[in-house]
A and B are shown apart, each in its own frame.
Chain A
Amino acid sequence: MSAKKRKEAPMPATAAGLLRFFEDESTGVKVRPEIVLGASAALIVAVLILRALFPI
């Protein structure tokens, strides 16, 4: 019963207090999640290598 009620009076989708509307497809450049994870890992590795080999 309580579950039914929740459906009918939904809380807005919030994360850490932010209104987010990711359910809508917008028009930006589409990136696959693998690419983001890969790029992040690449950034980390690049920073590590630069720190080790070319300290400034």
Chain B
Amino acid sequence: MSEKSSTRTFLEKISKILPEIKKPGRKVGLGEKLVWTALALIIYTWMGHTILYGLPQGTQVGQSPALLNVVFAQKTGTLITLGIGPIVTAGLILQLLVGAELIKLDLSKPEDRGLFTSMSKLLAIVIALFQSAAYVYAGFFGPTNATQNIAIFIQLVAATILIMLLDELVQKGWGLGSGISLFIVAGVAEEIFVALFSPIILPDQAYQGIILASIQAIFTGNLPSILVRQGGYPDLVGLFSTIFLVLALIYIEAIRVEIPISYAKFQGYRAKYPVKLLYVSNVPIIFATTVFSNIFYLGSLIWSRFNPNNDNIFLNLIGTYRFDEQLGTVVSTGGLAYYVIGPRGIASVLQDPVRAVVHAALLIVFAVLFAKFWVQVSGLAPEKVAEQLIQAGMQVPGFRRSPEVIAAVIGKYIGTVTILGGLLIGLVASVADYVAVFGSGIGILLTIGILQQYYQLLIRERISEMYPGLGKLLGRE
């Protein structure tokens, strides 16, 4: 016990020197919030277009080794090579540890919450140090000398700390919503824009942007050539899949079971408690992706240090890799690291259908597991919801007003939507990539969810701006 509390004092000491954004300490208007949010976004995007100092000449930038970079808003070879990866990974690890009660923190206490925040920041920095070192050691940027390695390492760590603060800036009352969500959406939006309009001519002699490629194909009368393109380039199948996926997701987002509730005190006050099909939203897929990408990166580290020739049978199970000259980065060719990354485009699926099936299965299983876990950890569990409803003086008509009974009524639905939602999200995220959806399946999933949150947030901000009294009523404590 005393050993634990000394760890705690140590962490509390460290938390005193961690940089932290000053709270506004005043009411920030909607207009000003938009400015801060836009500034943070512009800086982040600019970072994404700033190539690292010390990167070998001719290294291609922005080509992802994995398609996992959407979730972490990463762009290989730039200042956001690590993106928000360390922040998300650190948060996930801490949440898992707290959720499994391996770290004893009571998140209903303010001082424990403060410590949780400091610890996740500290862990994010540690992960950034580790990942930056891993990137240069594993040779992600090709052959680099010691000076280049040190320069890249420093830049990546510095950028991560700044990104952490940028996110905090947005979230801590200066901006709107969360920086992390914003950076993800910006990355996906950029990718979709490029897929639509990029004027770069790719090796198959067609424009990268599908709109330009279509016009070009109509003139040459060779429309079938861009129906399906090799190498996961934007094609017509991808375009129509993207449109379909966006519409389908907006529809799915609205599917819900509404449980009637009423006030115990006032007869006639009736309301509905919605249990959405995507009750757990995108969280499971982010968790799954975090695990997968870390398998990929740790695997590549092991490969470069202990198994560069791919001849150790046991280490080959973790992953075999090679350095792709054309992409300018490391790609996985076998083992677990190969299957955690799905093939992109119908052409690659047909090349190795087994990979597609295994990847989809992995993603779905992990998504369901994490969905179940997330419901327990995040206070979405039926028992918690029942407790909140009763505290608010609500009841489910026709049932006794006891937490157990209400939890049982709600739990019936929550249990189902948790598994179903996880399943659906896992399926969409994997299959969407097989038809080469623009911005990747996970990217579109995240974007739709985040944009909807932002839409609601903006409406709420507008209302509270115009009618301060009403705003208080609308969900702001």
Task: List residues of A whose CB falls within 8 A of some B CB.
Answer: 1-12, 14-22, 24-33, 36-37, 39-41, 43-44, 47-48, 50-51, 55-56
Contact = CB atoms under 8 A, between A and B. Distances in A.
B283 A14 contact: yes
Given A16-B181, A40-B43, A28 B118 contact: yes
Interface in B141-188: 145, 147-148, 151, 155, 158-159, 162, 165-166, 168-169, 171-174, 177-181, 184
Q: Is the interface of B mostly helix, strand, loop or mixed?
A: helix
Nearest to B269: A1
Contact of B43 (A2, A28, A31, A41): A41
A54 to B, nearest CB: 8
A55 to B, nearest CB: 8
A9 B36 contact: no
The 9 A-B pairs at the shortest CB distance, nearest first, are namely: A15-B178, A8-B392, A28-B20, A17-B283, A26-B114, A18-B91, A21-B113, A28-B18, A30-B22
Contact of B91 (A6, A12, A19): A19
A44 B46 contact: yes
Interface stretch (B50-58, B310-318, B343-351): B50-58
A26 B168 CA distance: 13
A50 B21 contact: no
A36 B378 contact: no
Contact of A50 (B46, B53, B57, B171): B53
Given A36-B169, A40-B47, A31 B20 contact: yes
A4 B20 contact: no
Contact of A29 (B19, B91, B380): B19
B172 A22 contact: yes
Given A7-B477, A21-B114, 8 more contacts: A4-B271, A17-B92, A18-B87, A18-B91, A25-B114, A26-B115, A37-B40, A51-B51
Nearest to A25: B23
B51 A44 contact: no
A21 B272 CA distance: 28
B208 to A, nearest CB: 25
A25 B110 CA distance: 9
Contacts of A15: 171, 177-181
B474 interface: yes
B473 interface: yes
Contacts of B43: 37, 40-41, 44
B390 to A, nearest CB: 10
Interface in B255-290: 261, 270-274, 281-284, 286-287
B425 to A, nearest CB: 12
B20 A3 contact: no
A11 to B, nearest CB: 8
A16 B180 contact: yes
Interface in B76-110: 79, 84, 87-88, 91-92, 95, 107, 110
A22 B389 contact: no
Nearest to B392: A8
A25 to B, nearest CB: 6
Nearest to B91: A18
Interface string B120-131: 100000000000
Interface stretch (B9-17, B245-253, B430-438): B9-17
A12 B114 CA distance: 16
21 contacts: A3-B473, A5-B273, A14-B283, A15-B179, A15-B180, A16-B71, A17-B281, A17-B282, A18-B91, A18-B95, A19-B91, A19-B95, A20-B117, A21-B107, A21-B113, A24-B113, A26-B20, A31-B21, A37-B40, A47-B155, A55-B57
